[in-house]
Amino acid sequence: MMTRPSMAAVGLSLLALTLPAQQPQAPEARFVPLRPLTTDSEVIFGDPGATGQPFVMRIRELPGTIIPPHSHPVDEHITVLEGTFFFAVSEKFDLNLLKELKAGSYAFAPKGSTMFGASPEGAVVQVHGVGPFHIHWRDGFKTLDDSGPHEVFRFRKGDMVTTPRGAGRIKQGYASGDHIQYEIEPRKGTLFMALQSETRKKEAAQQ
């Protein structure tokens, strides 16, 4: 989402070929209350992919999420808006290094540094900085939509599974190195994440 231009950006670039150049407009006042996120992220100011431009975005961390080691080419400022988020800046992946950040807490990660995180019960975090805000996964990154998922993932989209957090249907899978987890949609309640090592196929009789 943040590594390719939107259709709106493409359209504006085409208009620039035929319309006279215009002076950039000054930013206007903006008020964005905290509200439930229905997607993984929401950009509330600027464009995270634009070089040298400030941005603000909110990210929904599902319960059970583990964020594998990664880095950004720019400084990252994190404020926890809702729930509890666990975060660490270290080349060594060790869950014992995670710092607990409750709502209202702030964390800073310098550009190029390796970081990772976790959200056992879910959280909403707000990230701001100056773009371009790209993610470099230290151990690569794959989803169930990529080719050759059988080499990494034990389950497929639509599989009914059971986990320590509950049962549900697999909506998506994510893998970065040895970190393999699934986004699961229960019949009732909110989406959650589960590690592959803790996920089991649900028997047909139980479905």
Ordered by start, the domain boundaries in the chain are 38-136, 142-206
145-200 per-position pLDDT tens digit: 997 767 899 999 999 999 999 999 999 999 999 999 999 999 988 999 999 999 99
**Distance, CA of 148 to CA of 2 (rounded, Å):** 24
What DSSP element (H or E) covers 7? helix 7-15
Decide if domain 38-136 falls under CATH 3.40.50.300.
Answer: no
Q: What is the DSSP letter of 196?
A: G
pLDDT of residue 204: 55
CATH number for the 142-206 domain, one of 3.30.110, 1.10.600, 2.60.40, 2.30.30? 2.30.30
Tell me: pLDDT of 51 over 60.
yes
